[in-house]
Amino acid sequence: MKQVNQDIGLLILRITIGGLLLFHGIKKVVDGHGFIKKVLSDAGLPEFLWLGVPVAEVVAPILLILGVFTRSASLLIAFTMAMTIYLAFGWSGFEINQFGAFKVELNLFFMLTAISLYFTGAGNISLSEKLLQSNTKLKNL
């Protein structure tokens, strides 16, 4: 029973992170990446790095939800959130806003929960687990 509870908890965590972050990614795809290109340019970084944002905020969340390449997707999300904290907020992001939270609260949430998924993996309720099981059955034939 304990394993089932852990797997359900990991599924909920994957759906929460992936589902919430996916909306941010879709919004950026629809509205464009001008702001991101400007932030990168202002920091002296090449503008083509904006391409990492749709990958980290659209592709990686879908992978998390499905439970495929969970550790890689989690690392990509965590890295992207660390970069957004650094580039978009800097140290001022750790100031308390009018609601009593850090300005970077959401970014920290995504970063730290993605790191936790990196360490735990997807759990047994995942597409990757189903693929592993089917490969094992094929090898036994």
In this predicted structure, the answer to whether residue 63 has a pLDDT above a threshold of 50 is yes
pLDDT at 135: 63
pTM score: 0.88
**Tell me: the pLDDT tens digits for 74-131?**
999 999 999 999 999 999 999 999 999 999 999 999 999 999 999 999 999 888 766 6
Where helices occur in the chain by DSSP H, the ranges are: 2-31, 34-42, 52-54, 60-66, 70-84, 105-120, 127-140
Residue position matching structure tokens 């730290």 = 112
Please check whether residue 19 is in contact with residue 137, taking contact to mean a CB–CB distance below 8 angstroms: no
Give the whole-number percent of the chain exceeding pLDDT 70.
91
**Chain centroid, CA 122 distance in Å:** 13
- Looking at residue 140, what is its pLDDT? 43
Share of the chain above pLDDT 90, in %: 79
Q: Residues 6 or more apart from 112 whose CB is under 8 A from it?
A: 78
Distance of CA 25 to the CA centre of its chain: 10
**Dist. CA 33–CA 52, nearest whole Å:** 11
- Those residues whose C-beta lies under 8 Å from the C-beta of residue 104, and which sit 6 or more positions away, are 85, 89, 93, 94
